[in-house]
Structure 1
Amino acid sequence: MIFERSLQRELAYTAGAVFMVLLTIMLTTMMIRIVGFAASGQVDPRDVVVLIGLTVIGYLAVIMIVTLFVSILFVLTRWYRDSEMVVWLASGVSQTALIKPVAMFSTPIILAIVFFAFVVWPWSNLQSKLIKARFQQRDEVSLLAPGQFRESQTSHRVFFIEKMSPDQGHVQNVFVTSTEGGKVNVVVSKNGHTETHANGDRFVVLENGRRYDGVPGQPNFRIMEFERYGVKIQSQQFVNTPTTTGMYTNELLANPTRDNLAEIAWRAGLPLIAINLMLLAIPLSYQNPRRSRTINLVMAVLIYLTYSNLLNVVQSWIEQGRVSFGVGLVGLHILVSIMVAIIFWLRIRNRPLFRLSMFTRSKGA
């Protein structure tokens, strides 16, 4: 049918444009956030691009939900504004007839949302966690940077070096201070290098230096000169604690705790949100010439934000045991479906969703 082909073709063009805009916004936001983490030393700067890609891939399900909702709303609103919808309605096409072509266009997107929510979302979170864990397991030498004081995360040590070779094998003008049993130990050296013993232990061997031991505030400091002094390099041990966001769906089902069931409800809620918003966009797209052209977009943003936040609230309630898993899984979406059916009924009977007259009464009334 010409009507269905025309609608699906325009929806495809609009969805592509909206998706690219949302993807660009997401990339920019994640870039600023992860570069900030790298600047503060929380992630490796060499992994910034990978982490940005993994984060964006993980949120593709959310991006596709917004793309679907906004593209349907944009196209149908334009049809009302340009009187194309009037022509179709005059030709015997009802608003319920829009459901079939819109559903045919939305089905591949909803299936993709299911895939990204249940498969890609946990995979991207798991990979991001592994990358961050690898960075946290680095030893103390990798923390050093010429001309900067660096504090060890595994011991009460502060390092300072003036120069370092590119392979981190040799250092010059080294300062190391540590606290042990209330005493302060300060080691200074002109040169040093790294050594690895047969058992795998790594040391920074300092040469031609001095060590100062004592209690702060007391004059009885002990000074020792040395030709060689070894400082063992500590490695931070990372404890792998599984999180629900990084667990695959079959693992969540195998261990049905409250947290795991709440995560399942959140993942299952994404395609259900997409279906409800897809249907809601049809009656919501009605354009009254007397209203502002941006009111539909504002309402769409408010509706999506409210719906997604309510899904997060339901997830929290399941974790706390305030609602059962079954009620939390479908309760919110059934209520929204009923609201969508009521809005459809009002629109088919040409009844306004909101009566603006109560806000625009004349002063003489």
Structure 2
Amino acid sequence: MIFERSLQRELAYTAGAVFMVLLTIMLTTMMIRIVGFAASGQIDPRDVLVLIGLTVIGYMAVMLIVTLFVSILFVLTRWYKDSEMVVWLASGASLTRLIKPIAIFTTPILILVLFFAFIGWPWSNAQSKLIRQRFQQRDEVSLLAPGQFRESPTTHRVFFIESMSPDQSRVENVFVTSTENGKVNVIVSKTGHTETRDNGDRFVVLENGRRYDGEPGHPDFRIMEFQRYGVKIQSQPVVPVQTASSTSTPGLLRSPTPDNLGELAWRAGLPLIAINLMLLAIPLAYQNPRRSRTINLVMAVLIYLTYSNLLNVVQSWIEQGKMSFGLGLVGLHVVVFALVVFIFWLRVRNRPLISRAMFSRASQRS
């Protein structure tokens, strides 16, 4: 009982530290990536923090799985290195008795994994897509940024302004170019402002400028001077694009298309991965005192990456119709569970995973 409480307490401390490290790495990576999108004009700079938060919510299940696996592996590896496992085994307790205290510690984390996999992941994806689409489908005035060339997503226009008032009502030193029927139109103006008609149409009214019309490669360009020139502002309604990753779990069940079934198998696979890795960490934590503890960490990273990539492959096969939903839902995890049971059996019988006999046979054949 004392050992079990000590194990759970140490697991909690280690899991907290590992999670904070993973969260810091995630926040740093997402901040660099999303700030890059904002700098290139793909998202609104005011939405950077919101998108970072939504991304963290979306990947919370994955971070919790990695936290669970690494923390169990770290704690048990230290127990082997400090001979605490020797005391545990010498007291008559088997290796399988570690499953109960570790399962008690793991249960709240598994509940969180279920929540974020089936609810948090689709909700965060839906909100992120809505924010991006709302920014990309805004009107052309919202595209304008002082000192930058901006292309309209709805027309073949390119805008450049030198300065703009805070309320976007007035602009100065405007350059607008567009292509229509193979002809290029270039408009330059000193000042301009926005107007809204009674029917709701919006215009950018340019003042004191020139317009150049012509076909590239031909000298017959027309030059016109104007005092007022109206450019209609094009806009598009925000139409949410529904994808499998942003569809709620009940929505996937109501519409069992191949893409939705593949997404459902991926979501259901996350808690199953957590359970299998929790069990695998117990025999995998065996530590030779002469060996560095970093080897177990490298093995943990490789095992998780392989497992998660195989889950992505299964999802792709279901979407392509190469694998049935039922087989894809449980097939991979049953195979991994059988492997976990086999490794447990080897450890209980005190057999190494890779014996010296295998190395000697390989050297003889070579």
8 A Cα contact 1:153 1:236, kept in partner: no
Structure 1 residue runs of 5 or longer lacking an equivalent are none
2:297 match: 297
Give SS of 2:207's match: strand
Indicate the RMSD between aligned Cα atoms, in angstroms.
Answer: 1.7
Give SS of 1:203's match: strand
1:337 match: 337
1:248 match: 248
Q: Does 1:51 align with 2:47?
A: no
8 A Cα contact 1:117 1:270, kept in partner: yes
**Counterpart code for 1:222:** R
Q: How does 1:315-334 map to 2 (within 5 A)?
A: 315-334=315-334
**Counterpart code for 1:343:** I
Partners of 2:149 and 2:79 in 1: CA distance: 64
Q: How does 1:168-207 map to 2 (within 5 A)?
A: 168-207=168-207
Partners of 2:5 and 2:186 in 1: CA distance: 78
Q: How does 1:1-365 map to 2 (within 5 A)?
A: 1-356=1-356, 358-359=358-359
1:290, CA displacement in angstroms? 3.3
Give SS of 1:42's match: coil
Give SS of 1:150's match: strand
**Counterpart code for 1:58:** G
Greater shift after overlay, 332-341 or 225-234?
225-234
Identity of aligned residues (%): 80
Partners of 1:229 and 1:287 in 2: CA distance: 78
Greater shift after overlay, 346-355 or 148-157?
148-157
1:358, CA displacement in angstroms? 4.8
1:121, CA displacement in angstroms? 0.5
Q: 1:23 to 1:360 in 2, by over 3 A?
A: farther
1:147, CA displacement in angstroms? 2.8
**Counterpart code for 1:166:** P
Q: Deviations over 1:305-325 (max 9, x none)?
A: 111110000000101111110
Moved over 3 A (4+): 236-239, 356-363
Greater shift after overlay, 133-142 or 285-294?
285-294
Partners of 1:148 and 1:259 in 2: CA distance: 40
8 A Cα contact 1:136 1:236, kept in partner: no
Give SS of 1:205's match: strand
8 A Cα contact 2:130 2:240, kept in partner: no
State the aligned residue count: 363
Partners of 2:249 and 2:262 in 1: CA distance: 12
1:234, CA displacement in angstroms? 1.2
Give SS of 1:110's match: helix
The TM-score normalised by the length of structure 2 is 0.95
1:238, CA displacement in angstroms? 4.7
**Counterpart code for 1:100:** K
8 A Cα contact 1:162 1:174, kept in partner: yes
1:23, CA displacement in angstroms? 0.8
1:241, CA displacement in angstroms? 2.3
1:20, CA displacement in angstroms? 0.7
Greater shift after overlay, 21-30 or 152-161?
152-161
Partners of 2:358 and 2:342 in 1: CA distance: 21
Partners of 2:41 and 2:147 in 1: CA distance: 16
Q: Deviations over 1:265-313 (max 9, x none)?
A: 0000000000000001111111112333222111111111111110000
Partners of 1:28 and 1:360 in 2: CA distance: 47
